[in-house]
Amino acid sequence: MVIALRYAARSDVGLVRQVNQDSGYAGPHLLVVADGMGGHAAGDVASSIAIGEMVRLDGDSHGADDALALLAEALRTANSELRQAIEHQPEFAGMGTTVTALLRTGNKIALAHIGDSRAYLLRDGTLTQITRDHSFVQSLIDEGRITEQEAEDHPQRSLVTRVLTGQDDDEPDLAMREAHVGDRYLICSDGLSGFVARDTIKEVLEEGLPPGKTADRLVEMAMRAGAPDNVTCIIGDVVDLAKDQAPPTAQEVVGAAAERRSAVTRSIPATPAAKAAALSREANRRDTSEAAEADSLQLAEEEPTTGRRRWLRGVSLVVVVLAVLVGGGYAAYGGSQRQ
């Protein structure tokens, strides 16, 4: 049996925040959510960097044996890029991002996770959270100090203990799972899981709507809850390629990464011919942009010149008119005196 993913990605800035720091990516083999943090310290930049590095894995050439190693390496590279960005721009100090990624390889799903974004699996009517939050509240649950119900309203439920920040010890959790036809995966930022009840999420997932409409419904539920945070969710359905219609092949990029789409899409694997064409298009865009910029500079220089000429002509005309009036008045005055 040959399986495939039918997927959709959605993201919304929410009703309170001014900037969407979430990023999401969905492709034929890879689903990723990254929730940036840092406020002024550019959480949107952090999540975009992570997505831009992860999308390189969205290909069908990976074997099950090396999928986890590839995910781990991609996250290390993304973490290194975060560190370099902070070194070059000190105002980025303090930024970071969660990453939750599912990589399909054959009939298996490789999972990488760091932070408090979540991955859920709906299988045979049972919804299971397949990631563990790296958060202060989760540590309290693990120690038996609070219950999961108490954690839902805990004032420090958004305090994460492990994310990508550019530090060497930012290590993700890794796991391999068997994919079954009929499985429905959800990966989301805490803008959904932190404000929409798990039972409600389960009900929406069980409605059986296509991935796009399901993702829309989940974002809508977060909006009804007030959406105080950015909301990003990705749905991935496991289908039998022989029985199902051909799954989508177009990549979906949402959130902050969508605003930096050129950087993200340049990382997507392509054939040598496609890469050459992309480089050619990029070179043409640069040439066109530079030519347009030169034209705009030339026009900007010409504009004042034209304005000065018009001004000089206007002044000259006023001087001539005044001379005529003064001369005429003087002649009239002289004539009146002679009479």
pLDDT mean values, one per 10 residues, the chain (339 residues): 93 94 97 89 93 93 86 97 94 95 95 97 98 91 83 78 93 96 97 94 97 98 93 97 78 93 53 34 41 38 39 44 44 40
Say what the pLDDT of residue 267 is. 52
pTM given for the model: 0.77
Residue 60 CB contacts under 8 Å (≥ 6 apart), including other chains: 28, 29
Say what the pLDDT of residue 264 is. 56
Of 207, 241, 269, the domain-final residue = 269
- Do 289 and 155 lie in one domain? The reply is no
- Do 337 and 207 lie in one domain? The reply is no
- Do 148 and 180 lie in one domain? The reply is yes
Smallest CA-to-CA distance from 4 within 183, 266, 257 is with: 183
Say what the pLDDT of residue 337 is. 38
- Residue 185, strand partner residues: 121, 236
- Do 176 and 324 lie in one domain? The reply is no
- Residue 235, strand partner residues: 8, 186
Smallest CA-to-CA distance from 41 within 89, 80, 107 is with: 89
Residues 138 and 132 sit within 8 Å (Cβ to Cβ): yes
Dihedral sign, CA of 172, 178, 181, 182?
Answer: negative
- Do 156 and 281 lie in one domain? The reply is no
**CATH number of the domain that 51 lies in?**
3.60.40.10
How many whole angstroms separate alpha carbon 87 and alpha carbon 212? 39
- Do 243 and 277 lie in one domain? The reply is no
How many whole angstroms separate alpha carbon 38 and alpha carbon 95? 4
Say what the pLDDT of residue 147 is. 81
Say what the pLDDT of residue 176 is. 96
Q: Looking at the 3D structure of the chain, how many domains does it have?
A: 2
- Do 141 and 263 lie in one domain? The reply is yes
- Do 262 and 280 lie in one domain? The reply is no
- Do 283 and 182 lie in one domain? The reply is no
The helix-helix angle for 64-88 and 43-54 (nearest 10°) equals 150
Residue 190 CB contacts under 8 Å (≥ 6 apart), including other chains: 35, 116, 117, 118, 158, 229
- Do 107 and 20 lie in one domain? The reply is yes
Of 237, 269, 301, the domain-final residue = 269
Say what the pLDDT of residue 154 is. 78
Say what the pLDDT of residue 259 is. 85
- Do 303 and 261 lie in one domain? The reply is no
Phi, psi of 148 (to 5 degrees): -65, -35
- Do 185 and 311 lie in one domain? The reply is no
What is the span of the domain harbouring residue 31? 3-269
Of 269, 288, 319, the domain-final residue = 269
Residues 183 and 214 sit within 8 Å (Cβ to Cβ): no
On the CB side of 270, CA atoms within 13 Å amount to 15
